[in-house]
Amino acid sequence: MVLNAEAASVVSPADLALVLEKGVGGVNCSWNRLDEVPSRTLGARHNHRLLPLLLAANSVNYGKPFKMNTAEALAATLYIVGLKDDAARLLAPFGVAGAEFLRLNREALEAYASAKDADGVRRAEAAFKAQAADKAAAKAERQAAQENDYLAGMDLPPDESEEEEEEEEEEEKEEEE
């Protein structure tokens, strides 16, 4: 199996036999030069797979979706097909960064590994993308509210409407007495 960002099919637990029989490979190159890789000549086209949404934990692209280094991508593949111990062993030489990749993506990796096939992985991925979109929208809403209310909490002199309200309250009190 060749990991390929242009592949049509996503890695799934159904690929376990393929990985056990043929192995898995990835191209070790910069994301900036990916278009230079002759991916169509890297093995049989039907053995190419795409990884679902995962976040990089490497120091160059930390937290960026789909920007994993080769070791992270290979480990993700092993994890998803059910070879979780092999994935951890692959990342062990990377120390904290390797462990961080598994920690950062634990929920997604578990969901993908629990899927039956590529369709199940795609459904889990869609749910994670929707969840990420909801979080991003909520964050943007909070930021917009903070920007619009940047004067909140400041001790400012009352504006005219506040003065009018205070005068009305005083008049009401006088009328009651």
pLDDT of res. 143: 80
Residue 138 burial by Cβ neighbours in a 10 Å radius (0-12, 13-18, 19+): exposed
Mean pLDDT, residues 68-89 taken together: 96
Going by pLDDT thresholds of 50, 70 and 90, the confidence category of residue 31 is very low
Query: What average pLDDT is seen over the chain?
Result: 84
**Higher confidence at residue 102 or residue 163?**
102
Listing DSSP states for 110-155 in one string gives HHHHH-SSHHHHHHHHHHHHHHHHHHHHHHHHHHHHHHHTTTTT--
Going by pLDDT thresholds of 50, 70 and 90, the confidence category of residue 165 is confident
Q: Is the pLDDT of residue 20 over 90?
A: yes
pLDDT of res. 144: 78
Mean pLDDT, residues 158-168 taken together: 69
The pTM of the whole model exceeds 0.75: no
Mean pLDDT, residues 94-101 taken together: 92
Beta bridge partners of residue 55, listed in sequence order:
65
pLDDT tens column, 110-153: 999 999 999 999 999 999 999 888 888 888 888 877 776 666 66
Least confident of 38-42, 94-98, 136-140, 173-177: 38-42
Q: How far apart are CA 3 and CA 7, in angstroms?
A: 8
Q: Across the chain, which distance is largest between two alpha carbons, in Å?
A: 93
Which sequence spans correspond to the domains of the chain?
A: 2-147
